[in-house]
Amino acid sequence: MTPPTMLQSAPVAEFQVRKPDTTIKMSSEADNASIQFADWDNFQFAPIRESTVSRAMTRRYFADLDKYTESDVVIVGAGSAGLSAAYVLAKNRPELKIAIIEALVSPGGGCWLGGQLFSAMVLRKPAHLFLDELEIAYDDEGDYVVVKHAALFMSTLLSRVLQFPNVKLFNATAVEDLITRRDEVSGQLRIAGVVTNWTLVALNHDTQSCMDPNTINCNVVLSTTGHDGPFGAFSAKRLEELGKAPKDVTRGFRNDPSPAQPTADGFQLGGMRGLDMNKAEDAIVKGTREVVPGLVIAGMELAEVDGSNRMGPTFGAMALSGVKAAEAVLNAFDARKKQNETGGIPEAPFIDKVENVVKNPEQDFDNTIKAFQDRLQQYKYMEASKRQQLNDLNTKIPDIEKNLDIINYMKEKKNDLEEDDDEEDKTIITNYELNDTLYTKATIDVENLNSVYLWLGADVMLEYPLDEAVELLNERLRKNTEQLKLVKEDLEFLKENITTMEVNTARLYNWDVERRKKANATQN
């Protein structure tokens, strides 16, 4: 690359290139004002060209962007809860790719200082166990501990997290939206990644137009955006706009820590309540959970979701909410992975660089693109099969429920007859279905009814006592309902893989077109 031309009116200062003096001592036993850590008169940095610095930064940053555009876990917010979760995740699962997105230039959230901008940090026990894990010194005051400066906690935690090779922090980067998938049958929302932009751009959409974002796909998003600032409780607020998440504003005041189930009633923020340290910290840790498939919320953002109290200048819940969040993330990640594996559906590989797949274009390209097209057709065949399975289950389940209702109704009539021996209750006159459009009158002798005949499939019908028939039908209903859920999840997974393979195939084709154009241009 040709260096740019430099125009100037003054002569360039002389620059002597010589071997730098790199001897620097960080300690000295000298005294009497004779301490010297280095020969500063002869000291000089190693020479470098400005463009070298630019290339070093740019190359590495864009390599990270390329690597983490498909992540396993994305953590939104690098405060105490998010970084605590990142530490536990990275330590326990070094194979996971973990991207941390922080809107501010400086990570750490509100944990650089204690309350009212004071220095010391207070953590209630047993949060001191996390400090022990990080080897952070503290003063033990009985029921609580005090770290001499909050920055000691945050700087240590941040340093430990950034040392993990499977973690990348993208600071000065804001999450503008969530990537969503919606089940076509149930309408259930699932989070599949985040939409990002430079923070300065995100804050200035009102002043400029057409500043489109970037995206990161992942299996699980952990949102720990706190409750203050322009991006506070971002994911929770976005869910409220999307209108599909569990409404559960009493969680902070309940003893039952079981997770609420997503409903179609719409998500509503509970709104953070007044300060109560004892209620708040327990509620935040216990409430940390996956609020909708693919999205875990922890830390003070959860107070906005559940309507729990704020805790003020005590930080134990932030650390331990991060620990529990890591647990929830891993369970959600493993459940999705297991679901994909048990469904027998191989995950489509995402091609970052075609050159890594096609080593020899003349020999490998045709076979590679054929293999990808074959895989795409296999996915579409599996999708058609799953849709047929879905239709069958949607027919079976109502039939089972209808049979259960009929048998339970006859059991109730029989019990009523045994109690009052009413002649009118001894028989039931009903319409009997001969086929889809033909019915006839039928009389059921309730008094002597002790069993029913059930179709078991393949033209097999067996007689069952009433109680056994109910038990059998309930079991079949349970299994078919579970199977219905798995089929829906498999269809969603197949849709993602079909999209991935279509993108891969298009990328291969476009790459080959560009390669041939360059080859022809070289020949001409």
pLDDT digits (tens, 9 = 90+) for 98-116: 999 999 999 998 889 988 9
Residues 297 and 406 occupy one common structural domain: no
Inside any domain, residue 32: no
The domain in which residue 355 lies consists of 347-523
User: Of the candidates 342, 373, 392, which is a domain's last residue?
Assistant: 342
How high is the pLDDT of residue 103? 93
Instruction: Tell me: do 419 and 439 sit in the same domain.
Output: yes
Task: Determine, yes or no, domain membership for 256.
Answer: no
Question: Are 83 and 168 part of one and the same domain?
Answer: yes
Return d(Cα 225, Cα 110) in angstroms, integer.
11
* Residue corresponding to tokens 């074959």: 374
Please state, rounded to an integer, the average pLDDT across all residues of the chain.
83
pLDDT attached to residue 340: 58
Range list of H helices, 148-188? 150-163
Describe the strand order of the beta sheet including 139-140 as a list of residue ranges.
121-124, 144-147, 139-140
Which residue, 312, 342, 372, sits at the end of a domain? 342
pLDDT at 22 over 90: no
309, part of any domain: yes
Out of 48-62, 132-146, 180-194, 498-512, give the one with best mean pLDDT.
132-146
| Residue 187, pLDDT above cutoff 70 | no
- CATH number of the domain to which 279 belongs: 3.50.50.60
Name, of 6-10, 183-187, 466-470, the range with top average pLDDT. Answer: 466-470
Q: What is the pLDDT of residue 173?
A: 95
149 is in an annotated binding site: no
Between CA 425 and CA 232 the distance in angstroms is 64
Question: Any known ligand binding at 81?
Answer: yes
Is 175 annotated for ligand binding? yes
277 known member of a binding site: no
Question: What's the whole-model pTM score?
Answer: 0.61
For residue 185, the model assigns a pLDDT of: 36
- Is the pLDDT at 299 greater than 60? The verdict is yes
- 512: region left, alpha or beta (phi > 0 left; psi from -120 to 50 alpha): alpha
Q: Look at residue 74 and tell me whether its pLDDT is greater than 70.
A: yes
pLDDT, greater one: 39 or 491: 491
**211 lies in the same domain as 311:** yes
- φ, ψ of residue 308 in degrees (nearest 5): -90, 170
Q: Please check the confidence at residue 139 and state whether its pLDDT lies above 90.
A: yes
Residues 407 and 267 in one domain: no
On whether residue 29 sits in a domain, the answer given is no
So what's the pLDDT on residue 14?
A: 52
Give the separation between CA 112 and CA 154, rounded to whole angstroms. 6
Decide if pLDDT at 32 tops 90: no
Mean pLDDT of 122-141: 95
Lowest average pLDDT, out of 161-170, 290-299, 423-432, goes to 423-432
Check if the beta carbon of residue 274 is closer than 8 Å to that of residue 280. Answer: no
Mean pLDDT, range 178-204, rounded to an integer: 80
Predicted pLDDT at 242: 79
In this prediction, residue 245 has a pLDDT band, given cuts at 50, 70 and 90, of very low
Q: Residue 351 corresponds to which tokens in the numbers above?
A: 């091609």
Give the residue from 316, 342, 368 where a domain finishes. 342
Q: Look at residue 217 in the predicted model and tell me its pLDDT.
A: 93
The number of distinct structural domains making up the chain is 2
Whether 421 and 382 share a structural domain: yes
Three-state DSSP state, 94: coil
- Are residues 301 and 359 located together in one domain of the fold? no
Residues 6+ away with beta carbon under 8 Å from 136: 147, 152, 153, 156
The answer to whether the annotation marks 102 as part of a ligand binding site is yes
Exposed (0-12), middle (13-18) or buried (19+): which is 175, by Cβ within 10 Å?
A: buried
Domain with 457 in it: what CATH number? 1.10.287.370
Q: Is the pLDDT of residue 8 over 80?
A: no
Residue 461, φ and ψ in degrees, nearest 5: -130, 130
Above 70 in pLDDT, residue 427?
yes
Greater model confidence, 230 or 146: 146
Q: What is the CA radius of gyration of the chain?
A: 32
Examine the domain organization and report whether 407 and 514 are in the same domain. yes
Instruction: List the one residue out of 153, 359, 323, 358 whose CA is nearest residue 222.
Output: 323
Q: Does the annotation place 227 within a ligand binding site?
A: yes
Mean pLDDT of 467-478: 89
User: Averaged over 146-153, what is the pLDDT?
Assistant: 95
Question: Is residue 288 one of the residues assigned to a domain?
Answer: yes
182 in a labelled binding site: no
131 shares a domain with 79: yes
Peptide bond before residue 126 is cis, with ω within 30 degrees of 0:
yes
Which secondary structure element, helix H or strand E, spans residue 70, and what is its range? Answer: none
